[in-house]
Structure 1
Amino acid sequence: MSRRSHSPPDPSSSRLAKRPRLDFEPLTPDDYKDGLMLAPMVRSGALPTRLYSLKHGASLVWGPETVDKAILHTERVVDPVTGVVSYVGKTKPIFLTHPIEKPYLIYQIGSADPETAVQAAKMVMQDVAGFDLNCGCPKPFSTHAGMGAALLSNPDLLCSILTALRQAMPPEISVSAKIRLLPEQNDTLKLVERIINTGVNALTVHCRTRNQRKREPALIDRLREIVEFVEGMGRGVAVIENGDCEGFWDARRIREITGAHSCMIATAAEANPTCFSPTPLTDLEKTFIPAYIRLARYVNNHWSLTKYCSSMFIGDHVNGSRSDLKNVRAAIQQAKCYEDMEQITGTGTGEDEFRGIVEAIQKRGGRRVKVQILNGDSGPMSSKGFSDSATTEATTTATDVPTTSAGPEDAPSTAQSECSSKLTPEADGTRDRLQTPPTGPADPSLMNAPLAPANEMRMPLPAMITGELPTPTPTPRIG
């Protein structure tokens, strides 16, 4: 006799559905510590980006902010082939997820009403490991309705939403919040104290004020006092830093300055979702973008989202040529559907990429990756700057690629490995930002310096200036 499929709970009912059997350990405050997290990003935090972030070492991933009222009017649909879960609205899916990411997925809610927030949480609770309240987004689409950063000016409402979520959700569902700094540090500490008292497991602090934008440096030096304040409360709540963290190695600098328990990456992950690895992929036009588009097509990610994300990807170039870059970028800009990208992606279905990601994530066994990269209390340090056990766990998904996976994304080149080794910190914990320039013939189009070899981008200079001839005989024009 076949078993009945699990029915989603009635959002209008105050009674919780029967507690489901968990295939993984529930999130605790410790699971938010010693990790690198993918930040919640509207559009950029799509399902394919989250899956690749997990494959390459992200401890937890935040989904994009979803307004509570929007999810209430959706229907939960499961793809029988891929297993992808879609919350479909009137015209398109509002939220996509897959069971493989459930132990690591934090669903971020945009809300300005406790009751509506709880109803929205009940709609998706069977597919996520925790909920996060957005209290930091400064964009008008969020703040105009009293959500996002507007909650910073209304701490009573902010805390009432968190309290309602904590009381309504079963204990195995985590609750957290993401805020921004207030102009005055004392006001920030008062708000943090109230948030911690609601029973959250973690607090993410974007180290900018509501009026600051990402082009302005994050005020990360203000976070240490907040971390010490939270630790002094004795609740064990994790404090996650957000703002200006550029990747795996940069998290060391951030944590040394702030004392934060973990770091969250936004802009750098938007540009390269493999930045969670000690050896992120390079030459993304060849090694990542084609595979990403194939995967997105396989999981039925809307083309407009895939196009947006793909156009944002950019990484270091080691072997890629300028023409490769231009061709891929031009194809993405001109494409109106997945079929228009087959010249770049090939005819692969994306199933191989998906299988490789699933196998890499399954190797974790539901455990959250610990990346201990602090000196002192982080245990014995290896020559690369973090404990040997953490090294193995953090790099498993980035370097131990299953043999069944296929595609250029799954086969980092030797040149990439050599490049990444140049970025490895030395044993004394220092890290400079110097990189060995690429070898090979120079690109004439970039050589505009006055004394550079003659090329079509500049007029020739007299020999008396260049010193190419002993006499001031004019250099003949080229072409």
Structure 2
Amino acid sequence: MKEQDLHHPVTIGNVEIQGNLFLAPLAGYTDVPFRSLCIEMGADMTFTEMVSAEGLSRDGEKTMDLLKRAENEQQYAVQLFMGATDSLEGALERLAPFNPTFIDINCGCPVPKVTKTGAGSSMMKDPASITEIVRTITRTLPIPVSVKFRTGWDANSENYLEFAQAALDGGAAMLTLHARTRAQGYAPFADWTKLTTLKGYCMQKGYQVPIFGSGDLFHAQDAKRMLTETGIDGIMFARGAIGNPFIFAQAKDILAGREPQSIPLEQTVHVILRHLDLMIAHYGEKSACIQMRKHSCSYLKGRPNTAQVKQAIVTATKRDDYLQAMEMLHTSC
């Protein structure tokens, strides 16, 4: 593939996405404000936080809130997780009015409170379960289904090709591999060679589904490296986008052969306040200011002489507190 073609549209089932740089679903982070901001900053596709199929089937208020769409989200995907299919049909009935572009099934979350219910990466222990889930969704709703999974439960059970086949047997229109086992969690390093193997397997079997990769994408140049080294179709920025929504535009520059723009302090301050204002509009001032603390500290990570600024932020409860902290940032950096 030519360098200038590394950023390109992607077809998922009957849907075309304008580009192949996605914001991965991240519990506690990819809410409406952050997704909206990442779209402004160049993300081609966004996903909700993990949505419980059981909670959705019960019409749970907090669960339904996760399905809200940002005003600039012309396309978005809902990520579902479940330990069994009992509640799936009810969940799909409540999901349909939200008109997601496609549904993603979480088979990769390694967190114990998720895996102990049989959801997340626990599903990799039973590949037949993903066939049933994908088949049920594709029979119920006229939208594509994608599956996000890991290389296996642990080093002794790396069954990602078998699991991919099971998902494809159910009718999956896209696969995303986080190139670590569940046992590895998020420890270094992701094995990108597994992405190459998965892509080759699907091509050999004649499947024309896009393969996306995740894992160790912390810098804009990592997007080019993953795409060129593995031959996959697209990437999902996850932790690399936290406090760094600039990563999408920078990656597009690199994929187009341009020098990525540097991010001056003024732009960082502007985006922090833009992010805060989006959160205030969504949550109200006090809740937004408390939730914004974790994001703000991520924006400032690695910048020298910011300890006092971060201390001010972690006690902020009003927008004015953030304005004062940003003034402090100007004088300290």
Same fold (TM over 0.5): yes
Which residue, 259, 277, 295 being the options, matches 1:309? 295
Contact 1:70 1:94 in 2 (8 A): no
Total equivalences in the alignment: 302
Task: Give the TM-score normalised by the residue count of structure 1.
Answer: 0.57
Q: Equivalents in 2 of 1:227, 1:157: separation in Å?
A: 22
Which residue, 296, 311, 320 being the options, matches 1:330? 311
Does residue 122 (structure 1) correspond to residue 105 (structure 2)? The answer is no
2:282 corresponds to which residue? 299
1:274 corresponds to which residue? 246
For the residue of structure 2 that corresponds to 1:45, the secondary structure is coil
Matches within 5 A, 1:168-317: 168-170=140-142, 173-182=143-152, 183=155, 187-278=159-250, 279=261, 281-283=263-265, 286-300=269-283, 302-303=287-288, 304-314=290-300
Q: Deviations over 1:174-230 (max 9, x none)?
A: 211100002368732122112112111110000000101323110111221110111
Q: Deviations over 1:448-471 (max 9, x none)?
A: xxxxxxxxxxxxxxxxxxxxxxxx
1:341 corresponds to which residue? 322
1:30, CA displacement in angstroms?
A: 7.3
Q: Equivalents in 2 of 1:168, 1:66: separation in Å?
A: 18
Q: Equivalents in 1 of 2:198, 2:165: separation in Å?
A: 10
Q: Deviations over 1:338-395 (max 9, x none)?
A: 564353579xxxxxxxxxxxxxxxxxxxxxxxxxxxxxxxxxxxxxxxxxxxxxxxxx
Q: Deviations over 1:213-248 (max 9, x none)?
A: 323110111221110111222231111000011244
Contact 2:146 2:172 in 1 (8 A): yes
Moved more, 302-311 or 268-277: 302-311
Matches within 5 A, 1:68-217: 68-74=53-59, 88-89=61-62, 93-103=65-75, 105-127=76-98, 128-170=100-142, 173-182=143-152, 183=155, 187-217=159-189
Question: Structure 2 counterpart of 1:153, which letter?
Answer: K
RMSD, aligned α-carbons: 2.9
1:46, CA displacement in angstroms?
A: 1.6
Q: Deviations over 1:20-46 (max 9, x none)?
A: xxxxxx953774696111111111112
Question: Structure 1 counterpart of 2:89, which letter?
Answer: V
Change (3 A) 1:185 1:192: farther
For the residue of structure 2 that corresponds to 1:134, the secondary structure is strand
For the residue of structure 2 that corresponds to 1:62, the secondary structure is strand
Does residue 44 (structure 1) correspond to residue 44 (structure 2)? The answer is no
Q: Equivalents in 1 of 2:205, 2:317: separation in Å?
A: 53
Question: Structure 2 counterpart of 1:161, which letter?
Answer: I
Question: Structure 1 counterpart of 2:146, which letter?
Answer: S
2:40 corresponds to which residue? 55
1:316, CA displacement in angstroms?
A: 6.7
1:47, CA displacement in angstroms?
A: 1.4
Change (3 A) 1:341 1:74: farther
Question: Structure 2 counterpart of 1:249, which letter?
Answer: Q
Change (3 A) 1:98 1:184: same
Matches within 5 A, 1:331-370: 331-338=312-319, 340-344=321-325
Change (3 A) 1:290 1:184: same
Identity rate of aligned residues, in percent? 21
Contact 1:29 1:238 in 2 (8 A): no
Contact 1:290 1:344 in 2 (8 A): no
1:74, CA displacement in angstroms?
A: 3.9
1:394 corresponds to which residue? none
Change (3 A) 1:96 1:341: farther
Question: Structure 1 counterpart of 2:322, which letter?
Answer: M
1:121, CA displacement in angstroms?
A: 3.0
Contact 1:54 1:60 in 2 (8 A): yes
2:6 corresponds to which residue? none
2:52 corresponds to which residue? 67
Change (3 A) 1:247 1:35: farther
For the residue of structure 2 that corresponds to 1:288, the secondary structure is helix
Question: Structure 2 counterpart of 1:308, which letter?
Answer: K
Change (3 A) 1:184 1:220: farther
1:50, CA displacement in angstroms?
A: 0.8
Point out the structure with the larger helix share. 2
1:308, CA displacement in angstroms?
A: 2.9
Contact 2:115 2:121 in 1 (8 A): yes
Change (3 A) 1:100 1:124: farther
Contact 1:203 1:238 in 2 (8 A): yes
Contact 1:205 1:241 in 2 (8 A): yes
Contact 2:130 2:166 in 1 (8 A): no
Q: Equivalents in 1 of 2:238, 2:283: separation in Å?
A: 24
Q: Equivalents in 1 of 2:268, 2:229: separation in Å?
A: 34
Q: Equivalents in 1 of 2:157, 2:210: separation in Å?
A: 19
Change (3 A) 1:68 1:340: farther
Change (3 A) 1:133 1:282: farther
Q: Equivalents in 2 of 1:33, 1:223: separation in Å?
A: 22
Contact 1:272 1:315 in 2 (8 A): no
For the residue of structure 1 that corresponds to 2:159, the secondary structure is helix
Uncovered stretches (5+) of structure 2, i.e. residues with no partner? 1-10, 251-260, 328-332
For the residue of structure 1 that corresponds to 2:283, the secondary structure is coil
For the residue of structure 2 that corresponds to 1:167, the secondary structure is helix
